[in-house]
Every structure is written in structure tokens, then in C-alpha cells.
Chain A
Amino acid sequence: MKAISGERKRTSRLKEKTLDGYNFAYLDDQTKRMIRRATLKAVAIPGYQVPFGSREMPLPFGWGTGGIQVTASIIGIDDTLKVIDQGADDTTNAVNIRRFFAKTAGVETTENTSDASIIQTRHRIPEVKLKSDQIIVYQVPIPEPLRWIEPREEETRKMHALTEYGVMHVGLYENIAHFGKVTTSYDYPVQVNDHYVMSPSPIPKFDNPKMDKMPALQLFGAGREKRIYAVPPYTKVKSLDFDDHPFEIESWSECCALCGSSSSFLDEVITDDKGSRMFVCSDSNFCADRRAKGHKGPGLPRKFEIKDVE
């Protein structure tokens, strides 16, 4: 007599490491299957926003519920997870999400970009080049790049299907006419595989070129608007631009005050209550890694140093 698999009582390998009473990675299997099917279609139609039945999560919208649901549906016990918020591993948001998966999925977590198999991110792509077999999951607040031009969903769907993106170009061009350059510096729209125009989520446009032909799989989850979209590895991702105004990324005349990097995205930070400021890498893991390898920046502003000596 063979055992009937449906009735077999057996401790799942997953339960050994995770909290009792929780589903593995919080979501039930039915929800995961639905999100997994949506994810496969998203991958098959690069840049197209697949609707999915978003679930209630134990975190408010704006905390990356879309990204969390995508991560929960793909993650397994052998994964190593990194979570960043605006480049940093140690913000409340990043720490909470990392803790959430450590508890509900029992996975290893890391701050080291190269050690991660899954990287969930809000508003940045790490400076270190992502590799094949890594997956980056973006938290997306507003998935529709045409929404500011066309509020009606059925209209934007048509525009996407027919690649009617003239209005988008007009909008960006007007931006140039007013300001002399495209001032949209976050969430700058891209076109994927010469078809769908896609919102890259509010990453700085500095990060846009990293999306082009990236060896890692890119997945995007929008919880409130219930959309999943994807860019498969080695896929063409082009930032929208014009012949007379080519796409340009931000650049700084300074280098990172801590590690001396002149190739990373820099944040301007205040170092004391007298308003002393300096520029430092937004990617905290990248910066710490460089410093550990002996790279040094010009240091803190002079004013700060004098104060320090006193």
C-alpha cells in the first residue's frame, strides 16, 4: 500500500528553520502560485505590467509590499537576501524587511552585494555590477510611466500595446524647452527591448544605464497598484532621449569624502549642526568595501576637522 502524498504527515524542511504558525515566507502557497504565474508572464513579455491579485501584507503600503510579495514568492531556504533602501542596508525599512524574511523564511541575509542571490531594493541599484543568477527585486510605488500624461488605464494599455509613445516624448521635450535639460532625475522612463516604455521605479537616472543588458534578472513589484513586471538578463533597456538632447546621467565635481570614489552616486550629507556638508557614496556597502581595501577620500570638510581638534 502506497502512502497518499496529500495525507502524508511529514515535517517540511522549511519548518525546521522558520517561525511556527507562519507560512514559509509569510504567503500561502495558493498566493505564491498566482504570483509565480504572473512573474513568468512578466518575464516572457519584457517591460509589460502584469496585473496580479495583491495580498494584504503585515506592512503598510509604501513599505514595499509589492517587492516583498515578489521576493516571498521566489525565495527559498538556500537564498541569501540583501535589502537596501536608497543604497543603505541599515535604514529602518531595509532592516525590517530583512528581519521579516529571516523570521518567516529562515534565509541567510547579507549586506555584501556579491554574496546575495536576491537583492530587494528601494530607489537604488548597487554600484557593484550584478551577476548572472542574481535577482534584483525593485519596490515600485507607481508602475505606470504614462500615468502623468494619461489617467485612464484602458488608454495607457492601448498606448503600450501599439507603442504609441509620442505624448511621452512631447512631455519630456517640453521639460527641455522649459529648463534647457531634462529635469526628471528619478524614475526616468526607459524603453525595454524596443517595445514597452517602463518605469524603472524611483532610482536616480544615474542607475538607468546599469539596467541595460544586466546579467541579473530584474523583477518589479507594485503592491498598491497590483502589478508585476520584469526585464530578463541581457535585455536592451534604453532611457528615452532626443537627438539634440541625448540622455545624460548625474555627475559630481567632488569625489566621495570617505572612500574617494569618483564613479559612484553621491549623497550630500550634513556633518554637524553648523551646516558643514560633504558628499558620500549612497551605496553604503560599496563605500565600506572600498575603505576596507584601503581607499581613502579627502575626509571631512576642513571646518569639521578644526572643530574636532578643539
Chain B
Amino acid sequence: MALLQESIDHIPLETGFDDPIYESQIVFRKILKVMSEPGTIKKIKNKLSAPAPMMRATAAICLTLMDFQTKVWLDLPQDSEVSKYLKFHTGLKLVEHSSEADFVVFFTAPAELPPLNLGTDDNPETAATVIIQTQSLDDIGKLKLTGPGIKKSRFLNAENIPASLWDHRVKANSLFPKGIDIILTSDKKLSALPRTTKLKMLKTIKG
């Protein structure tokens, strides 16, 4: 009984997808859209609930892409409610070191990137996908984006991301094809910055 009680304790109250096959396909197409057209913002409509501090878009992305084959690092303790929720709903493997992970999730945008798997020249696809939660996400941008998937340029504003993080991203992506692919989330919104996207921070002139 004690064992049963313990395993019931591990069942999170927060729900995943109502209809996993149907919902994960819709969420995947949104991820595919933002990854292939960097800076585009999409919104998820799923009714899932996620334990704090996980935002709904972050939860939807994790439930869509993660399973027992994916190694995941979170900027939260391994016994956090979020860890329990993701383990229960996806069966993912949590890893201790960020450098071992296929997916790295920052629930708070960091000032610098920890050691990450950048892939190799021969197998650049093994590089980490980095999910970062932000306070807000819109196209009234300070960031000017150019590169594949962008017709001329696109603008993006991701609030509360330390400027130093963008410098770290440049460094991580300096040896193409190695690099990291970032998915930004904010509440129900998502956008992406694959390794090929060039970022330029526009200056503000007060007049």
C-alpha cells in the first residue's frame, strides 16, 4: 500500500493533452512553422494546465517533442513539480549536466548559457534545442532577424532576456553547422531562433 500511495503521490494534478495524438500534431505544426520562419509568433490553444513556473506553450512543446528517447535538462531541481509533471506525461530522461541534453529548458532566461551540446561538424543535428521562457513576446521588435526562412527581415521583442545571452548565442553559433536552436515561449506564444538566424539589436534613440 505504501508503494501504491507513493506512486499516486507522483501523479501530478496538472493535466497534459486531452487528446494527445490530435493535439500534439497541431502543436508540432506550430513549432515547425516558427522554426522554419524564425521570428514568426504562434499561439497554442490547448487547454492543458502546467505547474508553475512552466508556461502553457512550454508545456505543449515539451509534451509534443519529448519522450523516453530524449535527454532533458531543466534549470529547476530534479524533484520539482515541473520535473514530476514532465516525467509523468512524457517519460523523458532528466540529465544532471546541461551538456548531455537534447533539450534544455530555462524557465527563467539566463544571463549566460551553460555548457551545451553544439553537435559536431559531421552530425550537427545532435545539438541541443534550447527552450527559453520570456515575460512577453511580440513583433514590435528591438531584434532584427535575417537568414533562411525570412523574406527580408523580421522583428522580434522578447522581454526580460539579458543582452548578454544573445552574445552567448553568437558564440555558440559561430562555427556553423554546429550551434543551438532556440525556441522562445511566453504564456501561450512561441517563436524560434534556429542557429542560422542572424540577430541585430536595434538602438533606441530618445527624441
Chain A residues engaging chain B, CB cutoff 8 angstroms? 2-6, 8, 10, 12-14, 23-24, 29-30, 32-34, 36-46, 48, 50-51, 73-77, 133, 154, 157-158, 161-162, 193, 195-196, 213, 215, 217, 230-236
Contact = CB atoms under 8 A, between A and B. Distances in A.
A134 to B, nearest CB: 12
Given A40-B32, A40-B181, A74-B29, A12 B67 contact: no
Contacts of B123: 157
Interface stretch (B50-58, B145-153, B156-164): B145-153
B132 to A, nearest CB: 16
A32 B28 CA distance: 10
10 closest cross-chain pairs (CB), A and B: A161-B121, A232-B149, A44-B194, A41-B125, A235-B148, A232-B36, A157-B122, A44-B181, A76-B25, A234-B151
A41 B15 CA distance: 28
Interface stretch (B16-24, B74-82, B108-116, B135-143): B16-24
Given A36-B65, A74-B28, A232 B37 contact: yes
Given A12-B19, A33-B65, A46 B196 contact: yes
B89 A5 contact: yes
Contact of A36 (B16, B64, B127): B64
Contacts of B19: 10, 12-14
A234 B148 contact: yes
Interface string B167-207: 00000000011000100000000000011100000000000
Contacts of A2: 13, 15
A184 to B, nearest CB: 26
A32 to B, nearest CB: 8
B5 to A, nearest CB: 15
Given A14-B21, A24-B21, A39 B32 contact: yes
17 contacts: A10-B18, A29-B20, A29-B21, A33-B24, A33-B69, A39-B32, A41-B124, A41-B127, A43-B35, A43-B36, A46-B148, A46-B196, A161-B177, A193-B148, A215-B151, A230-B36, A233-B149
A2 B21 CA distance: 21
Contact of B149 (A4, A75, A234): A234
Contacts of B194: 43-45
Nearest to A4: B11
A48 B125 contact: yes
Nearest to B68: A30
Nearest to A235: B148
Could you say which of A12, A29, A41 has the most chain B C-beta atoms within 10 Å of its C-beta? A41
Nearest to B122: A157
A164 to B, nearest CB: 11
Given A12-B21, A74-B29, A217-B32, A44 B196 contact: yes
A210 B157 CA distance: 33
B44 interface: no
The SS class assigned to the B binding surface is loop
B26 interface: yes
Contacts of B127: 41
Interface residues of B, number: 47
Contact of A14 (B17, B22, B29, B35): B22
A34 B66 CA distance: 9
B12 to A, nearest CB: 9
B36 A45 contact: no
B65 A37 contact: yes
B155 to A, nearest CB: 16
Interface in B71-123: 88-89, 102, 121-123
Contact of B36 (A73, A196, A217): A217
Between B11, B19, B31, B181, the greatest number of chain A beta carbons within 10 A of the residue's beta carbon is seen for B19
B35 A29 contact: no
A309 B112 CA distance: 82
Interface string B35-55: 111000000000000000000
A302 B73 CA distance: 73
A36 B125 contact: no
Contacts of B151: 213, 215, 233-234
A24 B136 CA distance: 35
Contact of B24 (A3, A29, A230): A29
B36 A233 contact: yes
A161 B124 CA distance: 9
Contact of A40 (B22, B31, B69): B31
A96 B25 CA distance: 23
Contacts of A24: 21-22, 25
